[in-house]
Amino acid sequence: MQRKLSCEFPSASKLALLAPRPEVFVLARIFEQSAQDHLPTEIDVFRDDADALEFLGFAAEEVDEFVNSLGEGRELS
């Protein structure tokens, strides 16, 4: 089953964990540290969503524009 899932859904190259609260940030960092030797994914933890998006290669303004366009019923380019 795991092999089938990994073929159908390949691993992401980057994973941004958003953890704005201190206790969540600590838990996310523990996960990041324990997973780094077991996953082929670059993982980082962020307190701010704009920083997380930048890490993933997106500009926060572009994401906001995209989300707003969904409510307007415009076709995506």
pLDDT values of the chain reduced to their tens digit, one per residue, 77 residues: 445 545 665 667 899 999 999 999 999 999 999 998 888 889 999 999 889 999 988 888 888 887 777 776 555 55
Residue 24 vs residues 20, 53, 59, 73: alpha-carbon distances, Å:
7, 18, 24, 36
pTM: 0.67
